[in-house]
Structure 1
Amino acid sequence: MTRVAYSFVRTFAPESARDLCVDRHYLLCASAGTLRLAARGQSWLLLPARAALIEAGSPIRVSIPRPATTASVLFDTRFAPAPPAPLTVFDLNPLARALLTECRAYTEEPLPVYAEKLFAALAAVTWRLAERPSPVVVPAGRSPELRRALELTEQRLGGEVRFEDVADEVGLAPRSLARRFAEETGMTWRAVLRRMRVVAAIEELAAADTPVTEIAFTVGYTSLSAFNAAFKELTGRTPTAYRASFHP
Structure 2
Amino acid sequence: MDITSQLTDIPLESNRPPAFVLEGTLRSHSTKNLAHHACHQIMKIRTGITLLVEKDRQQPLFSNMTAFIPAGLPHRSTPLGEAVYYKSIYLDEAMFRRNISDIVIFDMSDLGAALFDRISSLMAPQGADPEDLDGQCLKLLLKLMETEIHHRSHLARIPVPRNPANLRITAFIASRFQSKLTLSDFTNALHYSERHLSRVFKEDIGITIFEYLRLYRIFQASLKLLRKGASKTITEIALSCGYDSLSSFYKDFKEIFVMTPRAFSQKNGETHS
SS in 1 for 2:72: coil
Q: What is the rounded CA distance, in whole Å, between the counterparts of 2:172 and 2:265 in structure 1?
A: 27
| C-alpha distance after superposition, 1:49-105 (max 9, x if no partner) | 322211100101332233111100101001111364411223343222211111134
Q: Superposed, which structure 2 residues align to 1:37-186 within 5 Å?
A: 37-65=52-80, 66-82=82-98, 84-107=100-123, 109-110=125-126, 111-112=128-129, 113-114=131-132, 115-134=134-153, 135-167=155-187, 169-170=189-190, 172-186=192-206
- Offset of 1:179 from its aligned partner? 0.7
State whether residues 20 and 59 of structure 1, in contact with CA within 8 Å, keep that contact through their aligned partners in structure 2.
yes
- Offset of 1:10 from its aligned partner? 1.7
Q: How many residues align?
A: 247
- Offset of 1:207 from its aligned partner? 4.1
Q: Which residue of 1 aligns with 2:247?
A: 225
State whether residues 38 and 140 of structure 1, in contact with CA within 8 Å, keep that contact through their aligned partners in structure 2.
no
In structure 1, what residue type is equivalent to 2:120? R
In structure 1, what residue type is equivalent to 2:104? T
- Offset of 1:132 from its aligned partner? 2.6
Q: What is the rounded CA distance, in whole Å, between the counterparts of 1:236 and 1:35 in structure 2?
A: 17
State whether residues 84 and 131 of structure 1, in contact with CA within 8 Å, keep that contact through their aligned partners in structure 2.
no
* TM-score, scaled to structure 2: 0.78
SS in 2 for 1:78: helix
Structure 1 residues 156 and 87, CA gap change in structure 2 (3 angstroms)? same
State whether residues 17 and 64 of structure 1, in contact with CA within 8 Å, keep that contact through their aligned partners in structure 2.
no
State whether residues 198 and 231 of structure 1, in contact with CA within 8 Å, keep that contact through their aligned partners in structure 2.
yes
In structure 2, what residue type is equivalent to 1:93? S
- Which ranges of structure 2 fall in alignment gaps of 5 or more residues? 1-14
Aligned-residue CA RMSD (Å): 2.7
Structure 1 residues 161 and 61, CA gap change in structure 2 (3 angstroms)? farther
- Identify the range of structure 1 (207-216 vs 2-11) with the bigger mean alpha-carbon deviation: 207-216
* TM-score, scaled to structure 1: 0.85
- Offset of 1:17 from its aligned partner? 5.4
Q: What is the rounded CA distance, in whole Å, between the counterparts of 1:203 and 1:126 in structure 2?
A: 30
State whether residues 52 and 75 of structure 2, in contact with CA within 8 Å, keep that contact through their aligned partners in structure 1.
yes
Matching residue within 228, 234, 239 for 2:256: 234
Q: Which residue of 2 aligns with 1:191?
A: 211
